[in-house]
Chain A
Amino acid sequence: MMRKPESRFRWPWVLLITLSGVSTIMPAGQRILDQTVAVVGDRAITAGEVEEQMALEDLDREQPRERSAERYREVIERLIRLRLVQREMDLAGFIGATDAQVRQQMDFMRGQSGGAAQLQQTLANYGLSETILENFIRQQLDFQLFVGFRFRTGLVIPREEVEAYYATEFRSQLPAFSSPPPLDLVYEDLEAELVERRVDPLLNDWINRVRSQTRIMIVERSSASAGTESP
Chain B
Amino acid sequence: MFVQAIPPIVLLAALLAGTAHAEERTPTPAPTVISVDFAPAEQPLPDEHLNNLVSVKVGEPLEPRLIRQSIQRMFATGRYEPDIQVRGEDVPRGIRITFMARPNWFVGQVQVEGAEAPPTPLQLVNAGHLDLGQPYLEEDVGFAMQEMRRLLENNGFFSANISKTEIEHLESRQKDITFVVMPGERAAIGEIYLTGHGPDEAPPLPIEDVRRISGWQRGQPSTQRRLQQGVSRLKDHLRGKQHWLSTVRLVGRDFNADLNEVGLVVDIRLGPRVVVRVEGAEISDQKLRRYLPIYEEGVIDDDLLAEGGDNLRDYFQSQGFFLASVSPVLERDREDEVLIICQVDRGPRQELVHVGISGNRSFDLPTIQERMLVQPRNIDDRKGRLTDSLLAQDRLVILDLYRSNGFHEAEVACRKEAGYQRNDKLMAVFCDIHEGERTLVSGLTIKGMERLSEELFEDRLSSVAGQPFSEVSVATDRDLILGDYHDSGYHRAEFSWKRLPSDVPHRVELEYEIREGETLYLREPIITGLRHTRPSLIDQQVQVMPGDPFSANAMFETQRRLYDLGVFSKVDVGLQNPNGEEPTKNVLIQVEEGRRWTARVGGGAEFARIGGNTADVSSPLGDASFSPRVTLEITRLNVRGLGHTMSLRTRFSNLQQRALFIYEAPRWTGSDKWDMTISSLFDTSRNVRTFSGRRLEGALQLRHRLSKPSTALYRFTYRRTSIDQNTLQITPLLIPLTSQPVRVGLLSGTYIQDRRDDPTDSTKGIFNTVDLSFASGIWASEPDFVRFLGQNSTYHRLGNSRVVLARTLQLGLLMPTGVFWMQDPISFIPGASEPDPRIPLSERFFAGGANSHRGFPVNQAGPRDPTTGFPIGGGAQFLNSVELRFPLRWKNVGGVVFHDAGNVYSRPREISFQSRQKALTENNDTVGYDFDYMVHAVGLGVRYKTPIGPVRFDLAYSINPPRFIGFEGTREDLLRGAGTITHQRISQFQFHFSLGQTF
Contacts and interface: CB of A to CB of B under 8 A. Distances in A.
Contact of A42 (B23, B84, B580): B580
A8 to B, nearest CB: 11
B19 A125 contact: yes
A85 B5 CA distance: 13
Interface in A51-107: 53, 56-64, 78, 81-82, 85, 105
Interface in B140-167: 140, 142-143
A126 interface: yes
A38 B283 CA distance: 66
A193 B143 CA distance: 43
Interface in B13-54: 13-25, 27, 39-40
Given A35-B71, A62-B18, A53 B4 contact: yes
A220 to B, nearest CB: 8
Contact of B1 (A32, A58, A126, A200): A200
Interface stretch (B60-68, B351-359, B373-381): B60-68
B8 A48 contact: no
A173 B102 CA distance: 59
Contact of B64 (A48, A112, A200, A203): A48
A33 B3 contact: no
Nearest to B64: A48
A200 B1 CA distance: 7
B826 interface: no
A168 interface: no
A143 B5 contact: yes
A100 to B, nearest CB: 14
A209 B82 CA distance: 23
Contacts of A207: 2
B496 to A, nearest CB: 10
B605 interface: no
Given A5-B143, A43-B75, A231-B102, A122 B22 contact: yes
Interface in A198-212: 200, 203-204, 207
B15 A122 contact: yes
A126 B21 CA distance: 10
Contacts of B89: 29-31
B40 A231 contact: yes
A57 B14 CA distance: 10
B581 interface: yes
A42 B76 contact: yes
A2 B143 contact: yes
Contacts of A122: 15, 18-19, 22
A26 B86 CA distance: 12
B981 to A, nearest CB: 86
B80 to A, nearest CB: 9
B21 A109 contact: no
Nearest to B6: A60
Given A2-B129, A78-B3, A231-B101, A36 B13 contact: no
B67 A33 contact: yes
A34 interface: yes
B83 A36 contact: yes
Contacts of B3: 78, 81-82, 85, 143
B520 to A, nearest CB: 15
B12 interface: yes
A49 B100 CA distance: 18
B133 to A, nearest CB: 15
A42 B581 CA distance: 9
A34 B16 contact: no
A31 to B, nearest CB: 6
Contacts of A230: 39-40
B25 A32 contact: no
B71 A109 contact: no
Given A46-B71, A105-B8, A32 B85 contact: yes
B127 to A, nearest CB: 11
A33 B18 contact: no
Contacts of B62: 33
A231 B6 CA distance: 39
A190 B581 CA distance: 46
A46 B87 CA distance: 13
Contact of A35 (B4, B85, B97): B85
A219 B82 contact: yes
A31 B68 contact: no
B151 to A, nearest CB: 15
Contacts of A15: none
A144 interface: yes
A131 B83 CA distance: 27
A231 B83 CA distance: 9
A94 to B, nearest CB: 14
B632 interface: no
Nearest to A45: B72
Nearest to A85: B3
B13 to A, nearest CB: 7
B2 A203 contact: yes
A108 B7 CA distance: 13
A4 interface: yes
Contact of A140 (B7, B17, B88): B7
A231 B39 contact: yes
Given A32-B86, A61-B14, A43 B7 contact: no
B581 A126 contact: no
B1 A35 contact: no
A113 interface: yes
B84 A36 contact: yes
Contacts of A44: 71-72, 75-76, 82, 84
B125 to A, nearest CB: 15
B239 to A, nearest CB: 34
A127 interface: yes
B8 A109 contact: yes
A230 B42 CA distance: 12
Contacts of A133: 11
Interface string B90-125: 100000011011100000000000000000000000
A217 interface: yes
Contact of A5 (B2, B25, B71, B142): B142
Contacts of B139: 4-5, 7, 215, 217
B83 A221 contact: yes
Nearest to A49: B68
B64 A34 contact: yes
B23 A48 contact: no
Nearest to A135: B65
Contacts of A119: 15
A195 interface: no
A78 B75 contact: no
Contacts of A194: none
A184 to B, nearest CB: 27
From A29, A64, A85, name the one whose CB has the most chain B CB atoms within 10 angstroms. A29
Contacts of B7: 140, 144
Which of B6, B62, B89: most chain A CB closer than 10 A?
A: B6
Contacts of B8: 105, 108-109, 137, 140-141
Contact of B10 (A46, A60, A141): A60
A78 B11 CA distance: 18
Contact of B22 (A60, A64, A203): A64
Most buried by A among B4, B62, B71, B75: B4
Contacts of A49: 68
Interface in A142-179: 143-144
Contacts of B581: 42
A124 interface: yes
Contacts of A61: 14
Contacts of B75: 36, 39, 42-44
Given A58-B22, A59-B18, A78-B4, 14 more contacts: A31-B89, A59-B11, A59-B14, A78-B2, A113-B15, A125-B22, A125-B25, A131-B65, A140-B6, A141-B8, A221-B83, A231-B85, A231-B100, A231-B101
6 nearest A-B pairs in the assembled complex, by CB-CB distance: A125-B22, A44-B75, A35-B85, A231-B102, A122-B18, A105-B8
9 contacts: A31-B90, A33-B86, A34-B86, A39-B75, A42-B580, A44-B82, A48-B64, A64-B21, A144-B7
